[in-house]
A = this chain, B = another copy of it.
Amino acid sequence: MKSAFFCCFLLFTFPSFLHAQESVAVEKRYTDEIKSLANRSVVKAVFQHFADWEPQTKQDLIALTETPAPPFKETAKAKKYAAMLKEAGADSVWIDEIGNVIAKRKGRSSRKTVVVEAHLDTVFPEGTDVKVRQKGDTLYAPGVGDDTRGLVAILTVLKGLEKAKIETDADVWFVGAVGEEGLGDLRGVKHLFKTHGSKINSYIAVDGDGISEIVHRGLGSYRYRITFKGSGGHSYGAFGIVNPHSALGKAIYYFTGEADKFTRQGVKTTYSVSVIGGGTSVNAIPYESWMEIDMRSESPERLKGIDQLLQTAVQRALKEENSLKRSGPDLTVDVKKIGDRPSGKTEPTVPLVQRAMAVSTFLGAVPKLDVSSTNANTPISLGVPAITIGSGGVGGNVHALNEWWLNDKGVLGLQNALLVLLAEAGIAK
């Protein structure tokens, strides 16, 4: 999920957190480049196709949305999407080991590779009704905006390139990625960079609505499930053995005390003890106590720093609780990392960001540089120029059953993706 959608969700309560916008100027050369690009007759021809294809684009969106893609179960949608990309004219289309759909369109020189990507997975579990309902012009369905609209946008860009016979200089990969959401933990894009990272020069994720937002900073996160384990026993009869909840309380106390100080200055870094559990009955010392923790920062160093506070707190709590025991075995602790999203920043002066800003401006929007947790996090963390841009239109209620997307000037999203891509990949001379 990209934060443009996310904003719609939380905008009224916490706008300041989400639009930590940087004030950056676009260099004239990029403004000129985009104007010149958009004025080329082949590009104008593609814009016209986009307009002509609106009914088909809507049909594609409905068909893809109604193909479920629950977390870790994206296969059906991947197969359908692969067929659509093949039909659109890609040179080769395959599904990789982890389930990503990759459609390759060769460029003339092939010296560079540009990836445009949207994600296949939704947050909705198996069995969720994904039938699209239309009220007025608005389409309602789980996943319709996040990120099926993104998939359709880049598919339509591919169709446009084919129809207008535009040859790019760089190779372009159109990717439908698995595992962007939640516990998917960016596994699709992580795999893509593990297997093909060395040849990818530029990465454009399409996720979220509108054409204003340009995510150039990856909000990194670590997530843990920490479980203290003891023998358990009767609250009176076994009194004196270690109590996992006491250790958990100590760990929370030590961690949140240090983390509060740590987060009061420097790059915004957050922490949350989010879910806790354990215990069977009010008259029993529990055999386990667990918590799930989320920590986020734009800064990899700060993320590592707060993580260190957590690890120290957990070990201190373990040691102290064990030192208080009067009988029985020691407590143990299991620290399991359940999420690891890298953070980082594509500098606003990098051509990709400059171009995206120039395109957004050219199309009549006000570009906003933003931070979010998207598939772009991975290339950003690896130093590969990467951004996440919107797919046009307006959407809301993301991650809720009544998610919606409205084609309000949605064609601008297609133009946006096309121009940014062409600027990066170059049109062959």
Query: What is the interface of chain A, defined by CB distance below 8 A to chain B?
Result: 6, 10, 13-14, 17-18, 182, 219, 221, 223, 233-239, 243, 245-246, 248-253, 256, 260, 263, 268, 270-286, 289, 291-294, 296, 324, 338-339
Contacts and interface: CB of A to CB of B under 8 A. Distances in A.
Contacts of A239: 17, 263, 268, 270-272
A276 B277 contact: yes
A292 B14 CA distance: 34
A10 B248 CA distance: 26
A294 B13 contact: no
25 contacts: A6-B237, A10-B233, A10-B237, A10-B238, A13-B237, A14-B234, A14-B237, A14-B238, A17-B238, A223-B282, A235-B270, A236-B294, A236-B296, A239-B270, A239-B271, A245-B252, A246-B252, A246-B256, A249-B256, A249-B273, A274-B282, A275-B278, A275-B280, A282-B292, A283-B294
B273 A236 contact: no
Contacts of A268: 239
A172 B339 CA distance: 68
Contacts of A280: 274-275
Q: Number of copies of this chain in the oligomer?
A: 2
Nearest to A270: B239
Nearest to A254: B253
A80 B189 CA distance: 69
Contacts of A286: 274-275
B245 A274 contact: yes
A289 B272 contact: no
Contacts of A10: 233-234, 237-238
A244 to B, nearest CB: 9
A270 B276 CA distance: 24
A236 B296 CA distance: 7
A237 B17 contact: yes
Given A270-B236, A275-B280, A285-B274, A252 B248 contact: yes
